[in-house]
């Protein structure tokens, strides 16, 4: 018993020591937090959801994805009430998280000194940007601060887009709206806009669990941000979300087309389909598989298995 207690204490001290040395979690702790993911990972330990799934996620609605997560028992993954640069530019990618807190001078100085001594450059709000990979979405918890809580302006916005090719989700404010609007393809989901600069805020974590509104976010979650709000999808559920949403999308496309053509009545489409309608749906999939917003091989799989 004593040996087990001592071993546990060593592990805890090791974790605390590793955590105290930097604001980033070590890879082994990242794997612990995201243990359900069994696929590829980045060197920092974050789940690396495949690019093809991220691309297919572009056809997934917030509602469809939310429904799958609720069915899996995830009730705290959606955050609403955002302001954005463009309401027609979705932000989809892997979450790189950052946690900010109200400034405590001695802790902030210790973090800065250690970071600068070990290769980090500039103010700490630029450090998460340095860690971005292509396809990442920079997700920051800055406790909803807008005035004096503007995490980036147009200079850092350009740096973010250059590294990730993607946008941001900040529970905080932004400045330089005019300059950020000029970054083609960039979008930001934020709590507000303010001309002030960042002050009385310190970075306390990169790639750590954070809270965004009512949602819990882990590094490597897939961000699905549309004008309705932002959904954070656990990495291990992304494939199920995508494949389930694709079936809903295909059935909706078929149903809408047949309603416009007058082939079926709303009562026939908006209820459990008959065997005849299911057979018509299968023919429609076969005839249109090369022009549908779903990969042809996925359509072939559905036709082969009839799992719709």
CATH assignment at residue 142: 3.50.30.40
Report the distance separating Cα 92 and Cα 166, nearest Å.
8
Are residue 113 and residue 258 in the same domain, yes or no? no
The per-residue pLDDT for 11 is 37
Identify the CA nearest to 222 among candidates 200, 245, 202: 245
> What's the confidence (pLDDT) of residue 38?
97
| CA–CA distance, 53 with 189 (Å, rounded to integer) | 22
| Residue 92, both tokens | 């989809």
Distance in angstroms between the alpha carbons of the first and the last residue of the chain: 53
Contact between residue 229 and residue 82 where contact means Cβ atoms under 8 Å apart? yes
**Does residue 20 surpass a pLDDT of 90?**
no
Block residue for tokens 């900010």: 100
- Are 135 and 199 contained in the same domain? yes
* Domains held by the chain: number: 2
Would 131 be classed as within a structural domain?
A: yes
Tell me the pairing of strands 136-150 and 201-206.
Answer: unpaired
Q: Are residues 170 and 216 in the same domain?
A: yes
Tell me, yes or no, whether 278 and 160 share the same domain. Answer: no
Provide the pLDDT for residue 16: 38
Residue 97 has pLDDT above 60, yes or no: yes
Q: Within this chain, do residues 134 and 231 fall inside the same structural domain, yes or no?
A: yes
Clarify whether residues 249 and 156 are in a common domain: no
Residue 293 clears pLDDT 70, i.e. is over it: yes
What average pLDDT does the chain have? 92
Q: Does residue 280 lie in a domain region?
A: yes
Helix H or strand E encompassing 155: helix 154-164
| pLDDT tens, residue by residue, 264-273 | 999 999 999 9
The answer on 264 and 206 residing in a single domain is no
Shared domain check, 275 and 142: no
Q: What is the per-residue pLDDT across 109-167, written as a single tens digit (0 to 9) for each?
A: 999 999 999 999 999 999 999 999 999 999 999 999 999 999 999 999 999 999 999 99
Q: Measuring CA to CA, which residue among 254, 246, 236, 248 is closest to residue 294?
A: 246
Query: Which among 192, 209, 236 is the end of a domain?
Result: 236
- Predicted confidence at residue 55, as pLDDT, reads 96
Residue 230 maps to a domain:
yes
Q: 289 is written with which tokens? A: 């598989």
Residue-level pLDDT at 3: 41
Does 225 share its domain with 245? no
Query: How many other C-beta atoms lie within 10 A of the C-beta of residue 37?
Result: 21
Final residue before a domain boundary, out of 217, 236, 255: 236
Instruction: Tell me, yes or no, whether 268 lies in a domain.
Output: yes
Question: What is the spatial distance between Cα 101 and Cα 202, in angstroms, rounded to a whole number?
Answer: 5
- pLDDT, mean of residues 48-62: 96
In a domain, 255, yes or no: yes
Write the DSSP string, 72-89. TT--S-EE---EES-TT-
Among 181, 215, 236, give the residue marking a domain's end: 236
Look up tokens 């909706």; give the residue: 252
Q: Is the pTM of this model over 0.95?
A: no
Q: Which residues form the domain of 137? A: 51-236
């Amino acid at each position: 018993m004593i040996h087990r207690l001592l071993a546990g204490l060593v592990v805890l001290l090791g974790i605390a020591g590793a955590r105290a040395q930097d604001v980033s979690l070590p890879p082994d702790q990242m794997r612990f937090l995201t243990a359900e993911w069994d696929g590829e990972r980045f060197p920092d330990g974050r789940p690396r959801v495949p690019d093809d799934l991220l691309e297919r996620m572009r056809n997934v609605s917030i509602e469809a994805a939310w429904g799958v997560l609720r069915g899996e028992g995830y009730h705290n993954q959606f955050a609403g009430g955002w302001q954005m640069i463009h309401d027609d530019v979705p932000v989809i990618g892997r979450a790189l998280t950052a946690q900010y807190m109200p400034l405590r001078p001695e802790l902030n100085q210790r973090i800065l000194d250690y970071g600068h001594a070990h290769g980090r450059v500039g103010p700490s709000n630029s450090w998460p940007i340095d860690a971005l990979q292509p396809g990442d979405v920079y997700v920051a918890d800055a406790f909803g601060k807008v005035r004096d809580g503007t995490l980036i302006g147009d200079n850092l916005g350009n740096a973010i887009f250059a590294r990730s090719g993607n946008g941001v989700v900040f529970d905080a404010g932004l400045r330089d709206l005019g300059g950020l609007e000029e970054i083609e393809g960039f979008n930001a989901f934020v709590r507000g806009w303010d001309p002030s600069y960042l002050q009385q805020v310190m970075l306390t974590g990169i790639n750590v669990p954070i809270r965004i509104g009512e949602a819990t976010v882990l590094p490597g979650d897939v961000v699905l941000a549309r004008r309705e709000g932002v959904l954070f999808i656990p990495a291990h559920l992304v494939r199920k979300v995508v494949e389930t949403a694709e079936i809903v999308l295909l059935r909706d496309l078929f149903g809408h087309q047949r309603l416009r053509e007058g082939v079926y009545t709303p009562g026939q489409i908006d209820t459990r389909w008959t065997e005849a309608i299911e057979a018509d749906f299968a023919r429609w999939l076969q005839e249109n598989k090369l022009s549908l917003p779903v990969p042809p091989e996925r359509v072939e799989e559905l036709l082969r298995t009839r799992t719709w």
